């Protein structure tokens, strides 16, 4: 019995090691692919602006502290990013009606258009990369990545 448990533990440890390696490679290769992609659509937004605009697109206008909390970032970091995005015409800030000291951030038409262009370019890229995969495999990958992101998000929220 102990031998079986020891084998299961060793196998589980090896699997977790493979997962760690593959996630590290995914992050590195994803960033390298983004930088190396020649199309302009991939470059119309930096990564931080894209993530903020994607969240605003799905959740609607947010105050900076809610945005920081949702994205697991420091408030001062989000404030700097939002300021740069406002200068670039990607977002607008209005006084927060619930808290006079804060502001509510909304995506502008320009911000939404740039975000949509990056999203479409990335979707085409993944379509090309995964063209040989079956629809079931692509669906499984999407489900598993979603579960991984939910687990990472839940862990970050507990901290």
Average pLDDT of the residues in 76-103: 90
What is the DSSP code (8-state) at residue 41?
G
Residues in contact with 91: Cβ distance below 8 Å, sequence separation at least 6, in sequence order: 52, 53, 56, 82, 85, 105, 106, 107, 108, 111
Compute the chain's Rg from CA coordinates: 20
Amino acid 97: pLDDT = 85
CATH number, domain containing residue 70? 1.10.10.10
Q: Are 72 and 18 part of one and the same domain?
A: no
Residues in contact with 82: Cβ distance below 8 Å, sequence separation at least 6, in sequence order: 52, 64, 67, 91, 93, 105
Closest C-alpha among 132, 64, 53 to residue 95: 64
Q: Are 27 and 56 part of one and the same domain?
A: no
Say if residue 1's pLDDT is above 60: no
Residues spanned by the domain of 3: 1-36
- Strand-pair partners of 96: 99
Q: Are 111 and 152 part of one and the same domain?
A: yes
Residues in contact with 106: Cβ distance below 8 Å, sequence separation at least 6, in sequence order: 56, 60, 61, 91, 92, 93, 94
Share of the chain above pLDDT 90, in %: 52
Q: What is the mean pLDDT of the chain?
A: 88
Band the pLDDT of 105: cuts 50, 70, 90. Answer: very high
Q: Are 29 and 57 part of one and the same domain?
A: no
Q: Are 62 and 29 part of one and the same domain?
A: no
Q: Are 82 and 125 part of one and the same domain?
A: yes
Q: What is the pLDDT of residues 10-67, one digit of tens each?
A: 888 999 999 999 999 998 888 787 777 766 665 678 888 999 999 999 999 999 888 9
């Amino acid at each position: 019995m102990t031998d079986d448990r020891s084998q299961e533990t060793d196998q589980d440890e090896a699997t977790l090691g493979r997962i760690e390696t593959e996630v590290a490679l995914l992050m590195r290769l994803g960033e390298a692919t983004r930088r190396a992609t020649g199309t302009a659509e991939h470059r119309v937004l930096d990564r931080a602006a894209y993530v903020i605009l994607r969240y605003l697109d799905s959740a609607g206008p947010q105050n900076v502290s809610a945005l920081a909390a949702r994205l697991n970032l420091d408030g001062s970091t989000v404030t700097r990013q939002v300021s740069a995005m406002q200068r670039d015409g990607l977002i607008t800030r209005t006084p927060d009606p619930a808290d006079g000291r804060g502001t509510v951030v909304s995506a502008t038409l320009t911000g939404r258009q740039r975000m949509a262009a990056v999203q479409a370019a990335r979707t085409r890229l993944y379509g090309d990369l995964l063209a040989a995969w079956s629809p079931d495999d692509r669906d499984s990958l999407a489900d598993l990545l979603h579960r991984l992101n939910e687990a990472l998000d839940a862990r970050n929220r507990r901290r």
